[in-house]
Amino acid sequence: MKSGRLAAIVVSLLTAGASIASAAPATASGPAALALAGVVALYSPLLTADEREAISALFVGQSGVRYARKISVTADKIVCRVSNVDITARSCELTFKGAKQTIAGRRASEIFATEVMAGIPSDGAAGSVFESLSMLSCTLDPVEIKQKTGGGATCSFETGN
């Protein structure tokens, strides 16, 4: 009887530990961070038009960007889904300060692919593949990016949520 109770406690603790450890901090830098910030910035209501324009220009390789201040791109959560049954179905839900936006089609595919490039692990369930992150915080330094030394873009986020 005691061994059965002990086994139940061990299984409960292991299961609890697995769910606590499911959210893992991660980072991206360089081209992956610039790409992640670039695809998310399009939808962020937290950025000014000037910041969005500077990020877009940097992302497409324009070196004449005159924006000199660091830019922060943040999102509470991003969850993208691609169906492996209905191969036309792809969508992402982006949450900024509690406000949700749903993106579909090619633009959702861009965000999904960029999450993969940034090293966010995939998860699958019932005919779908998911990429999700939370607590995204990217910092872009246009002055450093223009120096073309590989720096100036960093992101931190949590995976597995």
pLDDT value at residue 1 = 44
pLDDT value at residue 151 = 95
pLDDT value at residue 12 = 36
pLDDT digits (tens, 9 = 90+) for 41-66: 999 999 999 999 999 999 999 878 88
Q: How far apart are CA 42 and CA 59, in angstroms?
A: 11
pLDDT digits (tens, 9 = 90+) for 104-118: 999 999 999 999 999
* Residues 6 or more apart in contact with residue 135 via CB below 8 angstroms: 76, 77, 156, 157, 158
pLDDT digits (tens, 9 = 90+) for 123-132: 987 889 999 9
